[in-house]
Amino acid sequence: MARYVGTPMKRREDPRFIQGKGNYVANIQLPGMVSLAIKRSIHAHAHIRRIDTSRAKALPGVVGVFTGQDLIDGGVGKLPCGWNVPDIKVPARWPLAVDRARHVGDGLAVVAAESAYIAADALDLIEVDYQPLPVVVDARKATEPGAPLVHDDVPGNVSYTWAIGDKAAMEQGFAAADHVVDLELINQRLIPNALEPRAAAAQWNPFSEEMVLWTTSQNPHPIRLLLSAFTLGIPEHKLRVISPDVGGGFGSKIFHYPEEIITPWVARRLNRPAKWVGTRSEASMTDSQGRDHVTHCRMAVLNDGTITGIHVQTWSNQGAYLSTFAPLIPTALYLTLLSGLYKVSGIYGEMWGTLTNTVPVDAYRGAGRPEAAYLLERLADLAAARVGQDPIEFRRKNFIPKDEFPYQTPVAFAYDSGDYHHLFDRVVEMADYPAMRQAQTQARQQGRLVGIGVAGCIEASGPAPSRVAGALGSAVGFWESGAIRVHPSGKVTAMTGSHAHGQGHETTFAQVVADELGVAFEDVEIVHGDTARVPFGMGSYGSRSAAVGGSALVSSARKIRQKAIKIAAHQLEAADEDMVYDQATGKVYVRGAPDRSKSFAEIALAAYTAHNLPDEVEAGLEETAFYDPANFTFPNSAHIAQVEIDRETGEIALQRYVAVDDVGKVINPMIVHGQLVGGIVQGVGQALWEQAVYDEAGQLLTTNLMEYALPRAREFPAIEHGRIETPSPHNPLGVKGVGEMGTIAATPAVVNAVLDALAPLGVHHLDMPLTPQKVWQAMQAAQA
């Protein structure tokens, strides 16, 4: 029946981008607009004794300079944390720091000027009298006695702790084991680096007292809510938040940021439109960063390869303040994933969320799930080696069998569906894994360092059942809205609370709605990203748009169909139950008499002329649904990577990458493929190159793209990609989510490959990123 779902429709958003007509926030220019620039702390930790703005104010072209205290006096509030686990200590975070800076890049003052150049000049004229304070940057060291306190009211720098699983069962599993493998690892900090730096623009209307804020956000409605209720104080009916074209997010544009408060505040204060456009250095120093775990983990196994226990302890670096969803990531999206693809009863995970003098950390593509997958897949390789099994054989031994779904793990999640044996059959076949191993044996005989890495990963996507989220500490629900307005002509406008910043919803959601209603793809327009145009929605993150946002549109389309049936039945003088809605054509006809029918356009017109409607039916044809998912979805993947290491230089060549994913049903295979490949490349970035580096003084040494290595085209072979499909049983589209799966699996697959290459030298673990220097040093040490 589906005419569009499942087909690789070309994206309708592309014509504007390929012709340079993308509507990014930085492009907004309004008459009288002032440019904003922010003075930022050069110290990781310092008392701010005095900020002298007089010289900056005197510079011609400067319209205003405001400090953190000015903002507080002007009514701004503290940035709240949206995820509160029990006994959490949430330190105060103001839009601009007041008397103490807590990370390099912490905002101190804002300049408004006639041009961006003048604003930048003025920053240099602001004098800040710093008194540097002792600094802590490492998540675990922050908890040691005597460590400097980041916030005086958070003793020991521990903001919260969390644990899950059955400790006694875990201990039993270890007691029964023949072998235990043990790993100290660092999942390094990453800078998301969406290519478009964050930006905000605001316009105040003093007569209607309405504010419009354009912001680079993945979720404009939650941002409006936070602005209204906590930080800016302009009520929701007077505040319109628009998130137009956004140049990538990867999580970093979920959160509420100070500039979203400062920009409208200044616009109102000066009664002029205002715009702040971040630079790359600012993005590096202020976008919430990702990962940063120090972890001790262990896996217990029997001689036959059965996993009997997993124990994980993690110190999770939260940075200097708690970003909007920070506590969610290393708790309910991390420790809950410790079962992986495996059937294990004894799992126990515990973590400490600690504060340091670094940029705040929050969700970054995968968010918690990559950290869990990484340690599990590293442990699996070590355990397989210990019991003398091939890594795939070892994993197969422990897979949850396909007839045990839905499967309740010991760490909260109930997996919806999957067939991990089939998944691995596919990847083994696609890669010709036995041949790869054979070739590797030959290469090794020639003294070459060839490695093959395997990873099998699971993701919990599509957050989340609101009730479950609430029980886990969320301050909000995670349903999604979908509204469909059928116009009198039968043309359709569909509004979604999801937001696209590269995912292509304008295309995929139109495919879904067109199929649900039986109208032409061209007749459906998708609207998103504007609080004045779409119902309250929760936005996009956690691979949730298709599963939750798509399902919301399906729900509202179903309501439209029901109403259309009633109208057609009435006009054709038949009973509702006797009507058939033909989703291929949008025609509604009497069962057994297909020529007694009404077209979709006829019904739409009838709904608006309202001359002849059933008594209980109101005029118009417009429905809204709020879809709350019954469960998360659980995409899963089997990836195989092959690398070769240059013995002389330590350089790693990624020679092959074969991936098979189960992301459930697919709406647009071209877009799904693009998401997976993009995700894989990003995951390889973490394995091999990317790292946010802080020195002991808390200076961030990787504040630009010269110092922070993003993946480049020349470092990759073509990705060989395949899919299997086990539909999610609990959402109407059967989809699971695709945004993050590639990233999650690629990191361990590539690290496992490198360590497989180094295994003959006796190197069993290295922390990421596996730079040539690190690999070379390990080879030297091993051969010494």
Partner 1 sequence: MRQSVTINVNGQRHTQEVEPRLLLAHFLRERLGLTGTNLGCDTSQCGACTVLLDGQAVKSCTVLAVQADGSSVTTIEGLATNGQLHPLQQAFWDNHALQCGFCTPGMIMAATDLLRRHPDPTEAEIRTGLDGNLCRCTGYENIVKAVRSVAEQSS
CA 664 centroid distance within chain: 19
Applying CB under 8 A, among 513, 671, 700, 738 the residue interacting with partner 1 is 671
User: Which 8-state DSSP code applies to residue 236?
Assistant: G
Verify binding: residue 545, partner 1, rule CB under 8 A. no
Find the farthest-apart pair of alpha carbons in the chain and give their distance in angstroms, rounded.
91
CB 452 within 8 A of CB 753: yes
Query: Looking at beta carbons only, is 704 or 777 nearer to ligand FES?
Result: 704
Rounded to a whole number of angstroms, the minimum distance from the CB of residue 376 to partner 1 is: 24
Query: Looking at beta carbons only, is 174 or 716 nearer to partner 1?
Result: 716
What 3-state class would DSSP assign to 449? strand
User: Nearest CA to 352 among 371, 374, 332, 327?
Assistant: 327
Query: Looking at beta carbons only, is 26 or 142 nearer to partner 1?
Result: 26
Rounded to a whole number of angstroms, the minimum distance from the CB of residue 282 to partner 1 is: 9
CB 375 within 8 A of CB 185: yes
Applying CB under 6 A, among 360, 502, 539, 685 the residue interacting with ligand FES is 502
Query: Looking at beta carbons only, is 490 or 678 nearer to ligand FES?
Result: 678
Query: Looking at beta carbons only, is 19 or 446 nearer to partner 1?
Result: 19
Query: Looking at beta carbons only, is 107 or 247 nearer to ligand FES?
Result: 247
Helix (H) or strand (E) holding 282: helix 280-286
Rounded to a whole number of angstroms, the minimum distance from the CB of residue 449 to partner 1 is: 22
What tokens were used for 718? 């073509």
Applying CB under 6 A, among 6, 61, 233, 248 the residue interacting with ligand FES is 248
What tokens were used for 222? 């939650």
Query: Looking at beta carbons only, is 185 or 680 nearer to partner 1?
Result: 680
Angle at 770 between CA 765 and CA 775, to 5 degrees: 75
Q: Which stretch binds partner 1 (CB under 8 A): 21-29, 145-153, 587-595, 604-612?
A: 21-29
Rounded to a whole number of angstroms, the minimum distance from the CB of residue 18 to partner 1 is: 4
Quote the CA–CA distance of 163 and 679 in Å, as a whole number. 29
Count CA within 13 A, CB hemisphere, residue 178: 12
Query: Looking at beta carbons only, is 376 or 744 nearer to partner 1?
Result: 744
User: Nearest CA to 219 among 636, 436, 497?
Assistant: 497
User: Would you list the DSSP string of 336-358?
Assistant: GGTTTTB--S-EEEEEEEEE-SS
Quote the CA–CA distance of 408 and 416 in Å, as a whole number. 9
Quote the CA–CA distance of 48 and 68 in Å, as a whole number. 11
- Contacts with ligand FES, 190-209, as mask; x by CB under 6 A: -----x--------------
Cα separations in angstroms, 610 against 406, 525, 579, 603, 615: 47, 24, 20, 10, 11
Verify binding: residue 124, partner 1, rule CB under 8 A. no
Applying CB under 8 A, among 222, 346, 504, 650 the residue interacting with partner 1 is 504
CB 523 within 8 A of CB 514: yes
Rounded to a whole number of angstroms, the minimum distance from the CB of residue 9 to partner 1 is: 10
Rounded to a whole number of angstroms, the minimum distance from the CB of residue 196 to ligand FES is: 8
Query: Looking at beta carbons only, is 408 or 704 nearer to ligand FES?
Result: 704
What 3-state class would DSSP assign to 497? coil
User: Which 8-state DSSP code applies to residue 76?
Assistant: -
Residue bearing tokens 């949430």: 90
Gap between the terminal Cα atoms of the chain: 66
- Contacts with partner 1, 463-502, as mask; x by CB under 8 A: --------------------------------------xx
Rounded to a whole number of angstroms, the minimum distance from the CB of residue 299 to partner 1 is: 31
Rounded to a whole number of angstroms, the minimum distance from the CB of residue 674 to ligand FES is: 9
Query: Looking at beta carbons only, is 82 or 247 nearer to ligand FES?
Result: 247
Rounded to a whole number of angstroms, the minimum distance from the CB of residue 196 to partner 1 is: 4
CB 334 within 8 A of CB 164: no
Q: CB count, 10 Å around CB of 166?
A: 15
Count CA within 13 A, CB hemisphere, residue 448: 14
Quote the CA–CA distance of 193 and 287 in Å, as a whole number. 8
Cis peptide before 464 (omega within 30 of 0): yes
CA 472 centroid distance within chain: 19
Residue 442 backbone class (left: φ over 0; alpha: ψ -120 to 50; beta: rest):
alpha
Quote the CA–CA distance of 433 and 449 in Å, as a whole number. 17
What tokens were used for 681? 């490349």
Rounded to a whole number of angstroms, the minimum distance from the CB of residue 24 to partner 1 is: 7
What tokens were used for 309? 């226990």
Query: Looking at beta carbons only, is 23 or 466 nearer to partner 1?
Result: 23
Verify binding: residue 710, ligand FES, rule CB under 6 A. no
b/e burial code for range 386-409 (CB count within 10 A of at least 16 → b): bbebbbbebbbbbbbeeeebebeb
Rounded to a whole number of angstroms, the minimum distance from the CB of residue 245 to partner 1 is: 7
Rounded to a whole number of angstroms, the minimum distance from the CB of residue 666 to ligand FES is: 21
Indicate which of ligand FES, partner 1, none lies near residue 117 (CB less than 5 to 8 Å, by partner kind). partner 1
Verify binding: residue 21, partner 1, rule CB under 8 A. yes
Complete edge-to-edge strand list for the sheet that includes strand 307-319: 158-165, 347-355, 307-319, 290-301, 179-190
Query: Looking at beta carbons only, is 191 or 751 nearer to ligand FES?
Result: 191
Number of residues that bind ligand FES (CB under 6 A): 4
Rounded to a whole number of angstroms, the minimum distance from the CB of residue 502 to ligand FES is: 5
Rounded to a whole number of angstroms, the minimum distance from the CB of residue 739 to partner 1 is: 10
Query: Looking at beta carbons only, is 248 or 727 nearer to ligand FES?
Result: 248
Query: Looking at beta carbons only, is 197 or 309 nearer to partner 1?
Result: 197
Verify binding: residue 22, ligand FES, rule CB under 6 A. no
Quote the CA–CA distance of 356 and 319 in Å, as a whole number. 5
Q: Which stretch binds partner 1 (CB under 8 A): 86-94, 240-248, 304-312, 425-433?
A: 240-248
Q: Which stretch binds partner 1 (CB under 8 A): 236-244, 247-255, 429-437, 766-774?
A: 247-255
Query: Looking at beta carbons only, is 357 or 747 nearer to partner 1?
Result: 747
Indicate which of partner 1, ligand FES, none lies near residue 14 (CB less than 5 to 8 Å, by partner kind). partner 1
| Non-local CB neighbours of 529 within 8 Å, separated by 6+ positions | 220, 242, 243, 244, 246, 499, 500
Residue bearing tokens 């939750």: 548
Residues between 700 and 739 that touch partner 1 (CB under 8 A): 704-706, 710-714, 716, 718-719
Query: Looking at beta carbons only, is 77 or 248 nearer to ligand FES?
Result: 248
Indicate which of ligand FES, partner 1, none lies near residue 228 (CB less than 5 to 8 Å, by partner kind). none
| Non-local CB neighbours of 374 within 8 Å, separated by 6+ positions | 185, 187, 747, 748, 751
Rounded to a whole number of angstroms, the minimum distance from the CB of residue 59 to partner 1 is: 15
Query: Looking at beta carbons only, is 196 or 419 nearer to ligand FES?
Result: 196
Helix (H) or strand (E) holding 686: helix 669-688
Number of residues that bind partner 1 (CB under 8 A): 57
Rounded to a whole number of angstroms, the minimum distance from the CB of residue 335 to ligand FES is: 32
Rounded to a whole number of angstroms, the minimum distance from the CB of residue 282 to ligand FES is: 14
Q: Which residue is nearest to ligand FES (CB)?
A: 195
Site for partner 1, rule CB under 8 A: 10-11, 13-22, 24, 26-27, 29, 116-117, 193-197, 245-248, 250, 279-281, 501-504, 670-671, 673-675, 677-682, 704-706, 710-714, 716, 718-719
Site for ligand FES, rule CB under 6 A: 195, 247-248, 502
